[in-house]
Structure 1
């Protein structure tokens, strides 16, 4: 593909858009595909998912030169651009998982969970990426349809604009023609789901989230939520005397107990249906903590308790 040093015409990124989504829309404008465009920039990605997780060094600067869009804006279109809020600012190592997920203890006591070493682990980055999308957002746009970075991460359940649940996308991310012709029925999200996801969107937008009368930094919110998911997915031996409580949370969320899998995996490695169940069960746990109907065993459960006047 041949292009001028600065592309004269290109679509602007939409708020929250994933990097590959924007690049596909630019490539479409020039009658090219994603690989051609990235190659023209002087890079060759290992895969589209890598661009949304860890794009090559220098790609944001090169894109900024070509489009006039700010470097920092482009960096925020991929997962690593959200360091240190969403992910740690260090290169992933064997201890990254334990450092990130065990910074806080909410449902289980401190030290109850095993210290696991998982090389090259990134929080919220699925090993088997699946796109979930808002059918109403897609219905309101035209081909090539833009999609959100958060739709690619096992972090949220709903669309903050249309208040409906995200739907799993079985076909490639670059094609939504079937949804355009026959869109999925939008399912309204519960108030508790919307509240949890609103905190995530707030954290991404302004760097803070409001919890039970207190404002916490985005880093705190994402690690608290990931800690709760890790506690809900803990094995029976880790839960010990809290096993009944954890089972009860899963049951109240409408699912059988998720504890004690034959082969434990981090949240990011499970199939999308299990990731969704874990997020919905985390919603239930947070709601119960804030209503005072559940008492967490960890010291950081106080984040979800009302401040004393």
Structure 2
């Protein structure tokens, strides 16, 4: 069978460009519309932009790779399906998907205070309404639509420090912005900082946090956890209620973005999604500068490294309060010591197989099933700790 002919014209896809946008620009090179290119150039039925960008047929992606000379993975990355399992666990809704994605981490609230929801047919980040969002300055430089503009992951463009705006139409054909340019409000610095981290996750696969770098998959789930915590019914906040109210007052938005009853973030209107993203950005900034104490098990990732105390010249042993002249450390100081030690162990384990094995054996002590050991291995993989040492211990008893 004769192999398909290479297309002579095929513009290079921009970073994180969506498949529908790239196909539209490619078709324009031949004076065609993208549906004509799909039908006549590929012998494929017409697909909507939403279908192309979500989960198009794999054989179509293979064909596009052959016609343009692009790597198959590069073509696949222009679709949502190409971001499984980093951004999505799966594109097939599962009964426990919300609990798995949103409730494994906690930042603001301790796990016992979290309200466990199980919305049906839920997928993270995929909005129920097809709102078109973009950066005005980005589109003025060229008709390229980024895949992640379709998701409520960011509310601003870190490159141009502008809010993402809603519009109608198709760039290069026509476009109508919902808000006049002179009505654009500048995004707060905390939102720019949040969106820079999300953009770093998208473009590099990891995010630099105060304590250490985390995998992009951890960041997406950490952010989604914060959005869930900020929309939790106020009766679950306990003594943190005033702190949460302070976050919303700082943003100038209604408490819980005006929600009277709980709804998943993905089902909200873009206006409320923006408000929640701004609140999450403000909350992260407050945790980092120490003006708000978060009680979740993952909150330490957002706290800065503890500074070393500067000696005031007092001789050791002259402090009072405990036997031996030593000051009793506070709970926060003990927690900082523990997290600092763990961070140091993780950093060492990435380069030293001996440390990695000791850390794995220590963590495996509490595993009581094969599934828990597999979860532990996945955690080590997310932390980028090599598991080469496991080949030497395959015969060991797997559970303590």
TM-score, with structure 2 as normaliser: 0.69
Report Cα offsets for 1:72-114 as digits up to 9, x if no partner.
1111112221122211147331211111111111111103233
- Distance in 1 (alpha carbons) for counterparts of 2:24 and 2:175: 18
Note the C-alpha offset of 1:138.
Answer: 1.6
For structure 1, which segment, 100-109 or 250-259, has the greater mean C-alpha deviation from structure 2 after superposition? 250-259
Q: 3-state SS of the aligned residue for 1:198? A: helix
- Distance in 1 (alpha carbons) for counterparts of 2:163 and 2:151: 14
| Residue 234 of structure 2 corresponds to residue 233 of structure 1 | no
Structure 1 partner of 2:144: 146
CA gap 1:58/1:244 in 2 versus in 1, 3 angstroms: farther
For structure 1, which segment, 28-37 or 66-75, has the greater mean C-alpha deviation from structure 2 after superposition? 28-37
For 1:252-291, list aligned pairs within 5 A. Answer: 252-258=250-256, 261-291=259-289
Structure 1 partner of 2:97: 96
- Distance in 2 (alpha carbons) for counterparts of 1:173 and 1:129: 14
Note the C-alpha offset of 1:129.
Answer: 2.2
Q: 3-state SS of the aligned residue for 2:112? A: coil
Contact 1:235-1:259 within 8 A present in 2 as well: no
Find the partner of 1:172 among 169, 173, 176: 169
Q: 4+ residue stretches of structure 1 with deviation over 6 A?
A: none
Q: 3-state SS of the aligned residue for 2:85? A: coil
Report Cα offsets for 1:17-41 as digits up to 9, x if no partner.
1111111112222333333333443
Note the C-alpha offset of 1:51.
Answer: 2.1
Structure 1 partner of 2:373: none
For structure 1, which segment, 18-27 or 36-45, has the greater mean C-alpha deviation from structure 2 after superposition? 36-45
Contact 2:211-2:300 within 8 A present in 1 as well: no
Structure 1 partner of 2:115: 114
- Distance in 1 (alpha carbons) for counterparts of 2:257 and 2:31: 49
Q: Which has the larger radius of gyration?
A: 2
Note the C-alpha offset of 1:183.
Answer: 7.3
- Distance in 1 (alpha carbons) for counterparts of 2:94 and 2:238: 29
The two structures, once aligned, show a CA RMSD in angstroms of 2.5
Structure 2 partner of 1:14: 14
Structure 2 partner of 1:25: 25
Find the partner of 2:221 among 220, 223, 231: 223
Report Cα offsets for 1:250-282 as digits up to 9, x if no partner.
121110111783442211111111111111111
Q: Unaligned stretches of 5+ in structure 1? A: none
| Residue 181 of structure 2 corresponds to residue 184 of structure 1 | yes
Report Cα offsets for 1:126-173 as digits up to 9, x if no partner.
1112122111112222xxx1111121110112223222222222x124
Q: Tell me how many residue pairs correspond in the alignment.
A: 301
Structure with greater contact order relative to length (CA < 8 Å, sep ≥ 6): 1
For structure 1, which segment, 260-269 or 150-159, has the greater mean C-alpha deviation from structure 2 after superposition? 260-269
- Distance in 1 (alpha carbons) for counterparts of 2:287 and 2:262: 26
